[in-house]
Amino acid sequence: MQILDIRESTEKIQSSMRNAVIDFSKMTTSVVALITDKTRNGKPIIGYGCGSNGRYAQGSILRERLIPRILEAQPDSLLDESGLFDPFKIQKTMMKNEKPGGHGDRAVAAAVIDMAVWDALAKLEEKPLWRLLSERYNENKFDKKVLVYPGGGYYYDGKEIEGLRAEMAQYQLLGYRILKMKIGGADLKTDLKRIDAVLDLVGSGQNLAVDANGKFDLDQAIKFGKAIESLDLFWYEEPGDPLDFALHKALAEQYPNPIATAENLFSRQDVTNFVLYSGLRPEKDWIQMDPALGYGLSEYLQTMEAIGTLGWTRRQQIPHGGHQLGLHMAAGLQLGGTESYPLVFQPFGGFADDALIENGYTVPPDTPGIGIESKSKMYNIIKKLGE
Amino acid sequence: MQILDIRESTEKIQSSMRNAVIDFSKMTTSVVALITDKTRNGKPIIGYGCGSNGRYAQGSILRERLIPRILEAQPDSLLDESGLFDPFKIQKTMMKNEKPGGHGDRAVAAAVIDMAVWDALAKLEEKPLWRLLSERYNENKFDKKVLVYPGGGYYYDGKEIEGLRAEMAQYQLLGYRILKMKIGGADLKTDLKRIDAVLDLVGSGQNLAVDANGKFDLDQAIKFGKAIESLDLFWYEEPGDPLDFALHKALAEQYPNPIATAENLFSRQDVTNFVLYSGLRPEKDWIQMDPALGYGLSEYLQTMEAIGTLGWTRRQQIPHGGHQLGLHMAAGLQLGGTESYPLVFQPFGGFADDALIENGYTVPPDTPGIGIESKSKMYNIIKKLGE
């Protein structure tokens, strides 16, 4: 078994919206095709991978560093004892001659390749990825349906309430129950009005999460927390800089309801430090590591293990990114659920074309691998790399 | 005053040596030329920048993200009150639409541009950078000579002791007093023999630092510490992963002599966390942030301020990287000294062609800016970008 080639391209996933800290009009992602020497029905088995939104494409790092290291390695050195691709050995190989620390853009590049490796592996075993994960890492247990919520609730300059309510109502029509909206991109008064307008739609605070995208300093974070405390929201996400552990500690001492964060922490070292020093509460708070940004599912599994020994269960993890990989992981590893992008970050966001959401849950797909082939607009772009 | 263009290229700084975790045979760096609309003697004033070694070139990030943001900005928005380039505004502009956290490769890319900004600024003021720093950030104080030590002492497969002693003797001939050697790339017994061989040359433990490049886990780090404790070495560098705060805390409780680290921490958030949680001792340990890797001198100044309030003085900081920028900073800000690369990472490592080292000290240059023009092999490469 051998990797014949890994091809990459930079694709647009721009969207017109903004959150509290960035706008997404120039957002890009890297996509890769990992060509194996195995065939099925006369066609090569190909693994596909893409990055998550928010951190841009990583062409140079893929072309100049990670891909050559894998292609130059002895093919056998990338296999496990049974002769299948070993994602952990491949991770180690692509990170050869990389120094410790500095887990940023290269973590995104590595995640794109890692996704393609797992996709290929599940295809070789003719299983959906969630089943492979269930067998390997969850004693054959899995969830038949997965809690999903749409990442959304953006700002609509000029028609704040109207635009926001229209977006949120659309999610409800699609079958979502818990919705999420951005905060911190306007003044407190405006944000509270926006929250009220959405609460009116969703009925209960437990059906609404808010996301500041790391915007607040400590005073702002606490002030906002006090203002929403009585609403009993599902969670209060990324209140401040994800590396400001002291801020999280102080907030967690004051804000009684769940806090969520970690989509911008990309390594097991960073997430472990966060868990050790942030004072977040494993019984109620949420960890949102994104496997398509932080060195991939391979790193996620190792991080899950590391923070598990520190009291953080799988159920308190909900991967960021709204991609198919997160859905497989949530089902096969029995995480708390996964984010979902039915409307934004197209064509890479969201699940398979035929995925149905019912009362806030969806069923993982049965197609082998991750199932990018069942997401037609994305597949139309990514399949060109394999031709 | 306006930036007309920023041009970049990827250049090799490969060297044949290895440390405990990586080899440098495929190492690259980005270089940039920042073309201003000001002229002197009929030629445009150009700022030059390069990255430090160890983290590779960052072409995509420069071309696709950071450079376009600066060139698209309103020129006046990049100036300070006196109408000069404002490095902090330029830093903010190039980081627009970048999410918090994940301080890795983009920090390297930003550092390359930031170096060119400061070079241009000092040239516009017709001063060496150290003088500008002294005036702006050090009440006109500066050091007339700067402590320098060569980053070196690599592994020589097949002729360990002989090759190492030859390299170290060469540094002494060049005028260095404190030398540094790699450890952790061989077993403990071999490393102790190598240390003995170098101690024999340098005379005293206070003239020798050792550098594990982040290789050790906690047990190894403590075991190595115990083995070298009685040698009273100048410092014990990067014993473990720079993000493993718990390792540093445990080591600092046991190892009585100075520890040094931080070359692989790239943001004020990461360095502040390190200082808060690692248990390192401000009265004896060393912080080695590299301004050519971690968002530049602009970020360094802000980090210096942040950790200053936590008890870490400027004198306990010695920038990593062995570049001219570090020398200016050490002189103008009165840091503890700076690393130096007289033999490796050419042509970007090291100081001006005519720099003299005497008894482990060197004198900062008087040429305007950083003085890349006085480093002929480097200038021959970088000046092409400005033509």
Q: Which of A64, A99, A320 to mutate: most B Cβ within 10 Å?
A: A99
Say if residue A19's pLDDT is above 90: no
For residues A201 and A168, the answer to whether their CB atoms sit within 8 Å is yes
By Cβ distance, the residue of A97, A246, A277 closest to B23 is: A97
Closest C-alpha to B142, from B154, B128, B152: B128
Q: What is residue B36's three-state secondary structure?
A: strand
Closest C-alpha to A122, from A349, A382, A114: A114
Q: Which residues contact A238 (CB under 8 A, 6 or more apart)?
A: A211, A212, A213, A214, A260, A261, A263, A264
User: What would the mean pLDDT of B64-78 be, rounded to a whole number?
Assistant: 98
CB contact under 8 A, A60 and B65: no
Closest C-alpha to B216, from B186, B196, B256: B186
pLDDT (0 to 100) of residue A15: 73
Tell me the CA distances in angstroms from B329 to A91, A194, B209, B237, B297, one per residue in order.
38, 48, 22, 21, 8
Tell me the CA distances in angstroms from B64 to A66, B71, B369, B384, one per residue in order.
19, 12, 27, 21
CB contact under 8 A, B64 and A293: no
Say if residue B18's pLDDT is above 80: no
- A319: its two tokens: 């991967």
pLDDT tens, position by position, A104-118: 999 999 999 999 999
| The CA-based dihedral angle spanning residues B152, B156, B159, B162, taken in that order and rounded to the nearest 10 degrees | -10
Say if residue B20's pLDDT is above 80: no
The distance from CA A372 to its chain's CA centroid, rounded to whole angstroms, is: 15
For residues A145 and A325, the answer to whether their CB atoms sit within 8 Å is no
CA dist., res. B237 & res. B183, Å (int): 9
Percent of chain B with pLDDT over 70: 100
Say if residue B349's pLDDT is above 90: no
Q: Which of B15, B72, B97, B267 to mutate: most A Cβ within 10 Å?
A: B97
User: What would the mean pLDDT of A363-375 be, rounded to a whole number?
Assistant: 97
CB contact under 8 A, B61 and A60: yes
pLDDT tens, position by position, B302-337: 999 999 999 999 999 999 999 999 999 999 999 999
Q: Which of A14, A69, A105 to mutate: most B Cβ within 10 Å?
A: A105
Q: Which residue does chain B place closest to A69, by CA atoms?
A: B26
The distance from CA A228 to its chain's CA centroid, rounded to whole angstroms, is: 26
Report phi then psi at A261, rounded to 5: -170, 180
> Whole-model pTM?
0.97
Size of interface A-B (CB pairs under 8 A): 143
In chain B the first and final C-alpha atoms are separated, in Å, by 20
pLDDT (0 to 100) of residue A22: 78
CA dist., res. A21 & res. B110, Å (int): 19
By Cβ distance, the residue of A59, A242, A273 closest to B100 is: A242
pLDDT band at A188 (very low <50, low <70, confident <90, very high): very high
- A197: its two tokens: 């307008």
Percent of chain A with pLDDT over 90: 92
Say if residue B74's pLDDT is above 80: yes
pLDDT (0 to 100) of residue A368: 97
Query: How does DSSP classify residue B364?
Result: P
pLDDT tens, position by position, A35-78: 999 999 999 999 999 999 999 999 999 999 999 999 999 999 99
Domains identified in chain B and CATH numbers? 3-126 (3.30.390.10), 136-385 (3.20.20.120)
Question: How many Cβ atoms from other residues are within 10 Å of residue A140's Cβ?
Answer: 9
Q: Which residues of A are catalytic?
A: 182, 320
The per-residue pLDDT of chain B, averaged, comes to 96
Q: Look up residue B39 and give its amino acid.
A: T
Percent of chain A with pLDDT over 70: 100
Our CA angle for B357, B358, B362, nearest 5°, is: 50
Q: What is residue A252's three-state secondary structure?
A: helix
CA dist., res. B105 & res. A107, Å (int): 9
Q: Which residue does chain B place closest to A60, by CA atoms?
A: B60
pLDDT band at B264 (very low <50, low <70, confident <90, very high): very high
For residues A206 and A175, the answer to whether their CB atoms sit within 8 Å is no
pLDDT (0 to 100) of residue A105: 98
pLDDT band at B205 (very low <50, low <70, confident <90, very high): very high
Closest C-alpha to B33, from B108, B117, B109: B117
pLDDT (0 to 100) of residue B344: 82
pLDDT band at B59 (very low <50, low <70, confident <90, very high): very high
pLDDT band at B338 (very low <50, low <70, confident <90, very high): very high
pLDDT tens, position by position, A252-287: 999 999 999 999 999 999 999 999 999 999 999 999
Closest C-alpha to A288, from A325, A319, A333, A249: A319
> Taken in order A302, A112, B244, A85, is the CA torsion positive or negative?
positive
Say if residue A13's pLDDT is above 90: no
Burial class (CB in 10 A: 0-12, 13-18, 19+), A367: middle
Say if residue B283's pLDDT is above 90: yes
Q: Look up residue A261 and give its amino acid.
A: T
User: What would the mean pLDDT of B57-85 be, rounded to a whole number?
Assistant: 98
CA dist., res. B221 & res. B102, Å (int): 27
For residues B59 and B30, the answer to whether their CB atoms sit within 8 Å is yes
Residues of chain B contacting residue A61, judged by C-beta atoms under 8 Å apart: 56, 60, 105
Say if residue B300's pLDDT is above 90: yes
pLDDT tens, position by position, A217-239: 999 999 999 999 999 999 999 99
For residues A8 and A112, the answer to whether their CB atoms sit within 8 Å is yes
Q: Which residues contact B204 (CB under 8 A, 6 or more apart)?
A: B232
pLDDT tens, position by position, A274-327: 999 999 999 999 999 999 999 999 999 999 999 999 999 999 999 999 999 999
Query: How does DSSP classify residue B95?
Result: T
